Structure 1
Amino acid sequence: MSVHALTDSWTMTRRELARWQRQPVQLAVGLVFPVMLLLMFGYLVGGGRGVAGDYRDYLIPGMLALTMAFGLEGTMIAVTQDLDKGVIDRFRSMPMANGAVLVGRSAADMLQSALTLLVLIAVGAALGWRPGGGPAALLGALGLLLLFRFAMLWIGIHLALVAGRPELVQAVQILVWPVGFLSNAFATPGSMPGWLGTAVERNPLSHTATAVRHLFGVPGAESGHVGWAILWPLALLAVFFPLAVRRFARLSR
Structure 2
Amino acid sequence: MSISTTAPTILDLFRLDGKVALVTGAASGLGAAIATALAQAGAEVAVHGNRRPATETAMAIGDKAAAFQADLSSTSGAESLFGAVKERFGRVDILVNNAGTIHRNAAEDTLLEDWQHVLQVNLTSVFQLSQFVARDMISREAAGKIVNIASLLSFQGGIRVPAYAASKGGVAQLTKALANEWAPKGIRVNAIAPGYFSTTNTEALQADETRNRQILERIPAARWGKPQDLAGAALFLSSAASNYVTGTVLTVDGGWMGR
Into which bin does the TM-score normalised by the smaller protein fall?
0.3 to 0.5
**TM-score calculated relative to the size of structure 2:** 0.32
Higher RCO (CA 8 Å, separation ≥ 6 residues) = 1
